[in-house]
Amino acid sequence: MRGEWSAGRVGVALDVDRDGDHLRQAAEAEALGYTALWVLGGQLDTLDPLAELVRATRTVAVAPGIIPLDRFGADEVAELFERVEAEAPGRLFTGFGGLQARPVSATREVLDGLDGRIPASRRLLAALGPRKLDLARDSAAGAITMLVTPEYTAQARARLGPDAVLVVCQLVALDEDRSRARETLRGPLGFLVGSEVTGYAANMRRMGFADADITGLGDRFVDAVTSSGQPGTVAEDVAAHLRAGADHVVLCAQSDGHQPGPIQLARTMAGLLPQLRGGHIAGLPRVMRGKDRS
């Protein structure tokens, strides 16, 4: 269903604020040239922010990454989709997280039950392991991944085949001080690999990392599954996933107060969007490439 993918190559994840500033940021991100806005998992107490983001913008795609099926029922999601689709056709995608502690077949049943209400072309599934990737290919438009290497992205593309959509959520800490950026990334990385969602750690083992790498959160491990440093380094990491077979990469800002937040990251990276849309960074100034890999 890649032929029906309308969210472009690079998106940005926004934080939902109680004061509604994310709606202003959404309009700015759209004006900067981003073609998709994402809300990462854990921020949705209700599904209303998704509809609000659509209304606050004009043409950009809006997607959750993810809606946990353990928390929101399929009917609730379908009702939201139908309402937004009536107001703004083609703009809302639904990204689902599978049912935890349940067999994959249970998630398949939920997704297939949405046929007729949410087209498969507008459904995505968080997927890392082979069975989830197969489900994303067969019962949705494709897969959403996070904390993966470009080598994994190439393997996921091969598993999904040529027609499914592949989205990579890339945690980013933009900072000239690479060591400080890595330390910022260790917070969410450690939380995710140690969480009850065991798929992250299991997938890291599949990617060849030892338990000591995963629990120790060393520099090599952090650099492999996240992105940090200066804009050129981040752009190289994004382009690597696009070349490996990703259709879309989401910039997910991580900050401890020293690094830019979502809209600041979006502003900084906006000038690189034309190069990234083609999956290459050949046009980047030499000063922005490779010098901050230490």
Q: Considering the domain boundaries, does residue 262 fall inside one? A: yes
* Domains contained in the chain, number: 1
pTM to 2 decimal places: 0.93
Q: Considering the domain boundaries, does residue 293 fall inside one? A: no
Tokens coding 113: 């039950």
Beta bridge mates, 142? 124, 165
Tokens coding 62: 């809006």
pLDDT on residue 291: 34
**Cα torsion for 44, 46, 47, 50, to the nearest 10°?**
-60
Domain limits at 55? Answer: 2-288
Say how far apart CA 41 and CA 47 lie, in whole Å.
11
pLDDT on residue 197: 74
pLDDT digits (tens, 9 = 90+) for 78-132: 999 999 999 999 999 999 999 987 899 999 999 999 999 999 999 999 999 999 9
What is the SS3 assignment for 21? helix
Q: Considering the domain boundaries, does residue 174 fall inside one? A: yes
Q: Considering the domain boundaries, does residue 294 fall inside one? A: no
pLDDT on residue 294: 40
Q: Write the burial class of residue 196 (CB in 10 Å: 0-12 exposed, 13-18 middle, 19+ buried).
A: exposed
pLDDT on residue 15: 97
CATH of residue 114's domain is 3.20.20.30
pLDDT on residue 210: 97
pLDDT on residue 86: 98
Low-confidence ranges of the chain (pLDDT < 70): 278-294
Instruction: Please report the beta strands in the chain, taking only residues with DSSP state E, as ranges in sequence order.
Output: 10-13, 36-40, 61-65, 67-68, 94-97, 123-126, 142-146, 165-174, 227-229, 248-253
Tokens coding 172: 């980013």
